[in-house]
Homo-oligomer: A and B are copies of this chain.
Amino acid sequence: MRVLDIGEVAERSGVVPSTLRYYEEIGLIASLGRRGLRRQFDGDVLLKLSLIAMGKAAGFSLEEIAGMFGRDGRPEIPRDQLRVRADELQRQMVELRTLRDVLRHVADCPAPSHLECPTFRKLMQAASRERLVYRPSRKSPRTR
């Protein structure tokens, strides 16, 4: 693959240079070297950045994501860890669905106070049963 300098990588990936530098600093990506001052990257970095973005979307921290690449920079993820995470995503989806339903109900329910609406209360209870609430939290990205 082609060699790209940081500006090109930034443009093609949508990841700004400061972030690319930061990623390099923490060892998440590696540059081939410099041309003058400019960092040069292997074209592969674009796919790697996609993986990183996906990992973030999946709720992995950068540190965890870094742990998923072997020394050669290729993905090297413990398979069962992946399955565990996939299952977590599955559960997360279920939660989101419940939540979506709650929001939709609240948007449509004509009851003066939701606190008195039985449907609302039922959904809330469902949410609690699923332990949607009162969970230790952790970060993951979202859309704006």
Interfacial residues, chain A to chain B (CB-CB below 8 A): 13-15, 44, 47, 49-51, 53-54, 56-59, 74-75, 77, 79-80, 82-83, 85-86, 88-93, 95-97, 99-100, 102-104, 106-108, 113-115, 124, 127-128, 132-144
- Find out whether the CB atom of B56 lies under 8 angstroms from the CB atom of A143: no
| Sampled A-B contacts (29; CB under 8 Å) | A13-B134, A50-B124, A50-B127, A50-B128, A53-B132, A53-B134, A54-B124, A54-B133, A57-B132, A58-B99, A58-B103, A77-B107, A79-B106, A83-B103, A83-B104, A83-B107, A86-B100, A89-B97, A93-B93, A93-B96, A93-B97, A96-B96, A135-B141, A135-B143, A135-B144, A136-B144, A137-B142, A139-B141, A140-B142
